[in-house]
Amino acid sequence: MTSPTIDAPEWARRRSFAIISHPDAGKTTLTETMLLAAGAIRMAGQVRARGENRRTRSDWMKIEQERGISVSASVMTFEHRGLLFNLLDTPGHEDFSEDTYRTLTAADSAIMVLDAAKGVEPRTLKLVEVCRLRDIPIVTLINKMDREALDPVDLLQDIQDKLALDAVPMQWPVGSGQRFKGVVDLVSDELVLYQRPGVEHDREAASERLSLEGPEIRELLSDAEIEEARDGAEVARELCPTFNPQSFLEGHMTPVFFGSALRGFGVRELLDGLADKIPGPAPMPVQINGQSTQVEPGDKEVSGFVFKVQANMDANHRDRVAFVRLCSGKFRRGMKLKTEGGKQLTVSSPILFFAQDREIADEAFAGDVMGVPNHGTLRVGDSLSESGKLRFSGIPNFAPEILRRARLADPLKAKHLKKALESLAEEGVTQLFRPVLGGDFIVGAVGALQIDVMRERVAAEYGLEVTFEAAPYETARWLGGTEEQIDLFADRHKSAMAVDIDGNPVFLAKSNWEVSYSQEKFPELIFHHVRERA
């Protein structure tokens, strides 16, 4: 794939991607090094400082409050080789939550970062599963080559075995840790030389390339090292499948790069690889008047969907910012857009985000992410379009792994609690289930931080004292099947039935075992683990 020319439509320049990784593999460091290499930030430390702030929960809340709406964190736009990259930020660490999953629905591709000493780790696996929901293409970076690494053949095999992805190296590393010399570019057959940076943050330096056959390489590498580089490249060519763009675009094959985000090594090559390989905005599945069809990025009608909502943490302002992934058309500031539910809003101050800045957008295109301030009109999963007729599906709710019963200190405030919980569930902070029997609400979350945020916000914004007690459920499943089948099941499991915020029937299960058991007893029912907003 070549970069589009100047004359290509604006949307074709967009590349929206997310980085997925297990905590500590180097996502934050890579983000920062990429922004440095692309010239979007000038100093290292900026992304990290932000990341650390977000890691301490109380600080995070305080910072959000001080800033009003902290939005710059969610998407970072930068240019490279004439393309406009939108890097969608996904929370890592302990603040891992459904946000991450939803953000992936707005990305057209993902970079998977692996720690070279560890290979595929549990969270990577889970995130790749989410990428599979839409089969988005995945580019791999094996990071931390400046430390002792696993054998590259074993690393590629690990990707193949655990993720069922064909791993195709674009480069082959020569040594690792103290012995790391760089990578052989398997296309040009040159060694991209690893130079230990003299200064701490010399991450922007262009890498030096040496021909494996030329005289210069002999001055820098021993005969044995040159031999190792040549043999390695040969093994890679013999053992690995060749890169097939179609297979990559369909999510079955991943090109693999090696580097050190911390040392700035290999990141430029990765950026070039992204510019060459990752696709622009994809057509998005949509329903129009109940008919399934696709929206093409070049379609005239402006459309998009809300994948994230962030509230103003200032209790005096109930404003929210909805993050809208545009899917088609040329958006112009001041445009009127409608939700599929018929709500209309004039988008007068749409925000675009840059690494350090944000600005009001005069126009935006498919592939862009735009922040839309609103007073609670927009919720996660909403579709927006000029006609109001388009309905995007695919914003998933995942079966919660943490379920808590909301108990009020003052039972007279039950109405307030209902409003607070519903409003926060609409924002996507947590999921909300109302049991068919009994009055308490059950809140569900994928990550523990979601519950903490809920508790703090219910107190700060609604002045309610609520305890979130352990509920006797381990997980939940959305039920699918005919009305009779669902009624029959619900009748026999009254005390375990609830409805979600959209009124869908949900089975609250005491254990995963109970889910399997129920499935055996009711084979015709579907126990959905993921629910996409219809």
Residue 145's CB: how many other CB atoms inside 10 A?
27
- Single out the residue of 102, 144, 379, 531 in contact with ligand G4P (rule: CB under 6 A): 144
Interaction between residue 171 and ligand G4P (CB under 6 A)? no
Pairing between β-strand 497-499 and β-strand 505-509 as defined by DSSP bridges: antiparallel
Pairing between β-strand 109-115 and β-strand 138-143 as defined by DSSP bridges: parallel
Of all residues in the chain, what percent are helix, strand and coil, respectively (each to 5)?
30, 30, 35
Cα–Cα distance measured from residue 94 to residue 449, given in angstroms and rounded to the nearest whole number: 7
Interaction between residue 184 and ligand G4P (CB under 6 A)? no
Nearest to 139 by CA among 264, 276, 233: 276
Q: Assign residue 503 a region: left if phi > 0, alpha if psi is -120 to 50, beta otherwise?
A: left
Burial class (CB in 10 A: 0-12, 13-18, 19+), 132: middle
Judged by CB under 6 A, the stretch of 140-148, 169-177, 236-244, 273-281 that binds ligand G4P is 140-148
Cα–Cα distance measured from residue 366 to residue 325, given in angstroms and rounded to the nearest whole number: 8
Burial class (CB in 10 A: 0-12, 13-18, 19+), 532: middle
Q: What is the torsion angle, in degrees rounded to the nearest 10, for the CA atoms of residue 65, residue 67, residue 71 and residue 74?
A: -80
- Single out the residue of 16, 28, 100, 328 in contact with ligand G4P (rule: CB under 6 A): 28
Say if residue 475 carries a ligand binding annotation. no
Interaction between residue 29 and ligand G4P (CB under 6 A)? yes
Task: Give the contact letters, 89-118, x = binds to ligand G4P (CB under 6 A), - = no.
Answer: ---xx-------------------------
Interaction between residue 23 and ligand G4P (CB under 6 A)? yes
Say if residue 91 carries a ligand binding annotation. yes
- Single out the residue of 25, 165, 253, 282 in contact with ligand G4P (rule: CB under 6 A): 25
Interaction between residue 141 and ligand G4P (CB under 6 A)? no
- Single out the residue of 124, 260, 303, 310 in contact with ligand G4P (rule: CB under 6 A): 260
The beta strand positions in 128-228, using DSSP E, are 138-143, 166-169, 171-174, 182-185, 190-193, 208-211
Interaction between residue 404 and ligand G4P (CB under 6 A)? no
Interaction between residue 455 and ligand G4P (CB under 6 A)? no
Interaction between residue 176 and ligand G4P (CB under 6 A)? no
Nearest to 380 by CA among 435, 333, 432, 315: 432
Interaction between residue 4 and ligand G4P (CB under 6 A)? no
Say if residue 90 carries a ligand binding annotation. yes
Nearest to 503 by CA among 486, 488, 485, 517: 486
- Single out the residue of 184, 261, 267, 515 in contact with ligand G4P (rule: CB under 6 A): 261
Cα–Cα distance measured from residue 426 to residue 306, given in angstroms and rounded to the nearest whole number: 11
Interaction between residue 254 and ligand G4P (CB under 6 A)? no
Say if residue 175 carries a ligand binding annotation. no
CB of 32 to ligand G4P, least distance (A): 8
Judged by CB under 6 A, the stretch of 81-89, 254-262, 283-291, 486-494 that binds ligand G4P is 254-262
Q: Which of residues 38-97 bind ligand G4P (CB under 6 A)?
A: 92-93
Interaction between residue 432 and ligand G4P (CB under 6 A)? no
Q: For every residue of 428-451, which 3-state class applies, written as one string?
A: CCCEEEEECCCCCEEEEECCHHHH
Task: Give the contact letters, 114-133, x = binds to ligand G4P (CB under 6 A), - = no.
Answer: --------------------
Size of the site for ligand G4P (CB under 6 A): 18
CB of 29 to ligand G4P, least distance (A): 3
Question: 238: Cβ–Cβ under 8 A, 6 or more apart, which residues?
Answer: none
Interaction between residue 182 and ligand G4P (CB under 6 A)? no
Question: 231: Cβ–Cβ under 8 A, 6 or more apart, which residues?
Answer: none
Sheet hosting strand 320-328, strand order edge to edge = 344-347, 335-339, 383-385, 303-311, 320-328, 369-374, 351-353, 358-360
Q: Which of residues 215-244 bind ligand G4P (CB under 6 A)?
A: none
CB of 99 to ligand G4P, least distance (A): 15
CB of 27 to ligand G4P, least distance (A): 3
Interaction between residue 143 and ligand G4P (CB under 6 A)? yes
Interaction between residue 264 and ligand G4P (CB under 6 A)? no
Say if residue 440 carries a ligand binding annotation. no
Q: Any idea what the Cα angle at residue 255 is, between residues 249 and 256, rounded to 5°?
A: 155
Binding site for ligand G4P (CB under 6 A): 21, 23-29, 92-93, 143-144, 146-147, 260-263
Binding residues: 21-28, 89-93, 143-146
